[in-house]
Chain A
């Protein structure tokens, strides 16, 4: 029985009067790839950001590796364990910093040694050669930027990777490359993934289990296999499945 590396119980997040998360509970086992699917306003990104400490939650509990966290305060240990890849490759890299500087920052904050070696290795791992090391982010394509974002997330050697729609802003062919890269990284490092997306195809490809969210609540949690064999119960899940199959002239 693998312990749960991430456990969320009855989490509530409100922004003024708007309830973004309404008593949401989610468990992710160590080494698992867990997906969260929903449309805009479902609260999927809010959940991820609350886990990361970027949003406060007003009620409920959060525990990572047995350690409890509340509000926005997270320990340095947390940041060594949990890292995040954001959605927008054009917004998640500092516009005035080179790739080298971007990768240096987490290492400097946590006092790592062998900085040069680590940076080179990180770039290699995401398929970017050393020629990219001193480029600025505006000199990189969307796919290259997302690779840098992944390198940055992995350079601290976390155990859990939170992925907020990592390929939504990318072209289909680039998406395939990035998804492959993520899968390879997961295999090599034994990572736990918590991936958020609106695309059922991407989630069912990358994840073993998934939660379907709507309007701040978890509608149901199914395995990817169950999704494929249409063995789900909720109406909304069925709606999402139909929608993902494309347009059909009535």
Chain B
């Protein structure tokens, strides 16, 4: 029974990078630390992370941060004021509502859409993809044809159809987007599963008597996670835009909710003279999409399985 000395201070840098971890906890934290170091070496990725963290903070503290009421404006005095007017940093819209406050509250809706779609679509895609890739044969064929059917529809069209059937509203928009988002995740999960399906470590686990269910859940899925996380993050920009598109068409968030896409739609009428009504929410969408893209790129570099060995 060898005695392992704990000469590193717990949770210090040396402890995390130790070559001889003494507990599962230490090993897992150590690995997370290595990935973080790789991620944080990329400045653009950190910028992306910063933007997303800002979005989250703004959404959480919206009530405190927003200077004015986002849904009720001062129709008499504050219609279409330009940015820089006292008290209205980004100007007001045609109903006298402060655009800054609307953007701040709208961040909640954006986050709501993005997180919910990810939570619904990613696990569905993961399960279908891994089962399909591992089982092969007719199960694979059937699941992939179902996936193909969903992939064949243009996202916006299918989302429109669903929303038209279910009625407008942000919850239905989320459902519609989620339904069209899972096929690429299934494809990715399937491709990854197929690369590991015949590898020796899977054969070894089969030889212990593990059931296919156990193999998929505990051995295959963890390997698909990094690609999936990267893809989902990169897709978030697209999801925001689709939600904005639906909002623009009046099928997503309903007025007076300060959804950014709907704000652009209603600002369209004034774009020549009062450009800020449409441009401000547009800039917000741009920045957040950029943030997700940078974050996703950074995650891809940091989580790349080829480099995970170093």
Contact = CB atoms under 8 A, between A and B. Distances in A.
A205 interface: no
Interface in A70-105: 74, 76, 78-79, 83-84, 86-88, 91-96, 98, 100-101, 105
B24 to A, nearest CB: 6
Name the interface size band of chain B. Answer: 20 to 34
Interface in A84-135: 84, 86-88, 91-96, 98, 100-101, 105-106, 109-110, 120, 129-135
Given A91-B200, A95-B223, A134 B22 contact: yes
Nearest to A130: B2
A152 B20 CA distance: 20
Nearest to B198: A54
B208 A109 contact: yes
Contacts of A131: 2, 4, 20, 22
A60 interface: no
A135 B4 contact: no
A52 interface: yes
Nearest to B310: A138
A136 interface: yes
Interface in B209-229: 209-210, 214, 218-219, 222-223
Residue of A92, A96, A101, A132 contacting most chain B CB atoms (<10 Å): A96
B205 A105 contact: yes
Contacts of A49: 203
A140 B208 CA distance: 23
Interface in B269-310: 305, 308-310
Given A95-B223, A132-B20, A79 B208 contact: yes
A49 B218 CA distance: 23
Nearest to A75: B209
A152 B24 contact: no
A220 to B, nearest CB: 30
Contacts, number: 89
Contacts of A76: 209
Given A54-B207, A134-B27, A94 B201 contact: yes
A74 B210 CA distance: 11
Given A131-B2, A136-B27, A54 B203 contact: yes
B207 A52 contact: yes
A109 B201 CA distance: 16
B302 to A, nearest CB: 15
Given A109-B209, A134-B22, A135-B27, A86 B200 contact: yes
Contact of B21 (A79, A96, A135, A152): A135
Interface string B1-13: 1101000000000
A51 B240 CA distance: 54
Interface of B: 1-2, 4, 19-24, 26-27, 31, 199-201, 203-210, 214, 218-219, 222-223, 305, 308-310
Interface of A: 49, 52-54, 74, 76, 78-79, 83-84, 86-88, 91-96, 98, 100-101, 105-106, 109-110, 120, 129-136, 138-139, 149, 152, 156
24 contacts: A53-B206, A54-B203, A54-B207, A76-B209, A79-B207, A79-B208, A86-B203, A86-B204, A88-B200, A93-B204, A95-B309, A96-B223, A96-B308, A98-B21, A105-B205, A105-B208, A110-B208, A110-B209, A130-B2, A131-B22, A134-B21, A134-B22, A134-B24, A138-B309
Given A53-B207, A78-B209, 11 more contacts: A79-B208, A87-B200, A91-B201, A92-B201, A92-B203, A93-B204, A98-B27, A101-B24, A106-B208, A130-B1, A139-B19
